Amino acid sequence: MSRRIVIVGGGPAGVGAAMAARQQDPDAEVTLLTDEPCEPYEKPPLSKAVLLGKAAPHDAPIAGPGGVAGHGVIVRHHARVAGIDRAGRILTLVGGEALPYDALVLATGAVNRVLPLFPPGQPRVYYLRNLDEALAIRAHLQQAKSLVLIGGGVIGLEVAASAAELGLKTTVIELAPRILSRMCDPETGEAIAARHRAAGVDLRLAAAIAGARPQPDGGISIDFASGHTVTADMAVVGVGAVPDDALACAAGLEVQDGIVVDRHCRTSDPAILAAGDATRFPGPHGPVRLENWRHAQEQGMVAGRNAAGGEAAYDTAPSFWSEQFDLYIQGVGWPVPEQTARIVRTAGPATRITFDLDGDLLRYATGINAQRDIAAARRLIERKIAVDPAALADPAVPLTQLLKPRA
């Protein structure tokens, strides 16, 4: 009898797991459960091309033109899981259907962090995580003249860039003293902030919100602790996410702000694996949880291979990217709590990359319009190659040249 593998979640982790499981064991029966009605799609365009009306989600299926089914995977849409019987290895769907499994992969992702002042469903208030939310925001953007973003992270800034491109008066409210404070160094953050300001985006930093009030004309006013007020036609909240680990918790798996997994993506139940935004896994500085597309896909592939009998380990340098205006922003590696050196390489007014060193090893790099250098930096980080700080700073020295270990 062929191995039965069930995967819960239609994001990059789930799709990566399904495709990798089929590659590892072509005879396995692999079933992917997604609660959405459509083919699993790429979510990064939701805050950019989809909002601008330049693309639709079905233009970018995660699994390629043939979809997930084209890889020999059974796809079940509108599939919501009610519970897991670990002893019997049976998954029960809402509605009562039972699905037996030999191996189960949880790729349940994350859900929006909700601010009590801006409850979902409040008129003129939006969150962005899926297709329906993106289409609702796009429809309102076409009628609005002004927008306020709560949160100066990736989602907030990408939506701000899209709104500014559409000609809306756009304001970003960020509690921290600078944008992208968890992802990039102050100088890179300021370069990105300057591009937003040049496009007319009003950045309100170190700004604490005291209240929010609907307006008679249908708009929304946001009051600051400082006494100032911003009024807009609509608000989009992007203040991070929390792991969707409720199913794992109900099943009695080990959960600690995410489903706890080992390097092989196994949970506290050896028959259940997990991957993506919902997991907490071993990092170089202790257990960690990440939220980005590449991490989800690559960890999902490890989980899928191991669900199908493999023994792969997840050990990769995480990365992120974001497109804002004409800026392609990237980061790779693990941030160093106290770097021994920070090196900046510039190659023109719109291109820069910052390197964080720990001794003579590169640990983290962030770049703007520096795709080739970021690709080389990834290899330097993963291969743990000692680097010369002077060479890193010199744009005349190709980073690929540093991939040869020094004698």
Q: Look up the CATH number of domain 119-237.
A: 3.50.50.60
pTM over 0.75: yes
Task: Kindly report, residue by residue over 180-201, the tens digit of the pLDDT.
Answer: 998 899 999 999 999 999 999 9
Altogether, the residues listed in the chain come to a count of 407
The reply to whether domains 4-111+241-307 and 326-403 share a CATH topology is no
Asked if residue 282 has pLDDT above 70, the reply is yes
Furthest-apart CA atoms within the chain: distance in Å: 72
Domain boundaries along the sequence of the chain? 4-111+241-307, 119-237, 326-403
Please provide the average confidence, as pLDDT, over all residues in the chain.
94
pLDDT at 347: 81
Q: How confident is the model at residue 391 (pLDDT cuts 50, 70, 90)?
A: very high
Asked if residue 407 has pLDDT above 60, the reply is no
Cα-only R_g, the chain:
22
Amino acid at 168: L
Asked if residue 72 has pLDDT above 90, the reply is yes
Contacts 24+ apart (CB under 8 A), 253-256: 256/280, 256/287
Domain 326-403 in this protein, CATH class: alpha beta
pLDDT at 180: 95
3-state class of 147 per DSSP? Answer: strand
Task: Kindly report, residue by residue over 214-264, the tens digit of the pLDDT.
Answer: 888 889 999 999 999 999 999 999 999 999 999 999 999 999 999 999 999
Q: How far apart, in Å, do the first and last CA atoms of the chain sit?
A: 55
Give domain 4-111+241-307's CATH architecture.
3-Layer(bba) Sandwich (3.50)
Task: Kindly report, residue by residue over 301-326, the tens digit of the pLDDT.
Answer: 999 999 999 999 998 889 999 999 99
Cα–Cα nearest to 188, from 388, 320, 327: 327
Cα distance between residue 228 and residue 261, in whole Å: 46
Cα–Cα nearest to 5, from 35, 28, 34: 28
